[in-house]
Copies of this chain bind each other. A is one copy, B any other.
Amino acid sequence: MAAGTGVHDAEPARLLGAARLPRRSRPLAGAAVLVAEPVQVVTLTSDFGWGSPYVAAMKALLVRAGVQAPLIDIDHDLAAFNIRAAAFVLWAATRDFAGLPSVHLAVVDPGVGGHRRALALDCGDGRRYVGPDNGLLEFVLRHADRPVHGVELTVPVGAAPTFHGRDVFAPAAAALASGTPLDRLGAFCGQLVRLQMDEPHVLWVDRFGNIVTSLRALPTELEVAGHRVRQVHRTFADAAPGVPFLYLGSLGYVEVGLRDASAATQLGAVLGSVVAARG
């Protein structure tokens, strides 16, 4: 693998506590509490399943709490026990909201009710995230280009031990959406759970069967699931049918595609398959 092509080489995100925030973001002693502007959109991402009553319950809470912003569903069929894949999709689906005051509620939470912490993060570019501290925010942190400010949410007395989505995360999202400053939701969270990704691998497979790898720079050859892919093209229309090819995908990662067919099926690649780049 060529040096510097893996996403795992990215600089770790910097986390700031309230004390290290720029002055204008801190509550002023003896002054009125600063209130942020209401956000323009709230997104929801989970592994509850499309159509789950649990998704509806989170939305009911948001609406009852007075959230006026549109609610946008990202995905609710995230792989239930695969935090890494979920983390990638969460980032990929919410990155373009940067610049917009927005709250992103993300619940893939197999450790609910246990010791894992509940978080709210501010990326400094308008995006605020609410979710469990289990690696789900890994790619958001990797791609953050400003210091990220994070707090640990308090679990309210009476919260259902199996449904923090409704009883912990949604209320925090509603508060942020209504303009409550992050600092009011909890204390500085310190070091977050991070995911290790030592080898280049398959991050995600899209619905067409295109394979999204963890590489950021186009190699001249990529080995995927025992197959060598050597063609490099700009887009599908440039490729010959039946021959898998490499391209730099719209998310900024190297992908393997196949014209009018599924590269993942043809090559036998799945989530997590190791890939090896040359050149």
Contacts and interface: CB of A to CB of B under 8 A. Distances in A.
Interface of A: 40-41, 43, 47-57, 59-61, 63-64, 70-78, 80-81, 89, 92-97, 99-100, 110-116, 160-163, 166-167, 206-208, 234-238, 247, 249-251, 257, 259-261
How many copies of this kind of chain does the complex include?
Answer: 3
Contact of A235 (B113, B257, B259): B113
A96 B60 contact: yes
13 contacts: A41-B63, A51-B73, A57-B93, A59-B72, A60-B94, A60-B100, A81-B260, A110-B236, A110-B259, A114-B236, A114-B238, A161-B235, A163-B250
Given A47-B207, A260-B110, A250 B63 contact: no
Contacts of A234: 113, 161
Given A76-B51, A112-B236, A64 B162 contact: no
A190 to B, nearest CB: 21
Contacts of A76: 51
Identify the interface centre among A56, A111, A236: most chain B CB within 10 Å of its CB.
A56
A165 to B, nearest CB: 9
Given A63-B100, A77-B51, A89-B53, A236 B70 contact: no
A153 to B, nearest CB: 17
Given A50-B77, A56-B94, A111-B237, 9 more contacts: A49-B207, A54-B250, A56-B72, A57-B95, A60-B97, A64-B97, A64-B100, A110-B236, A161-B235
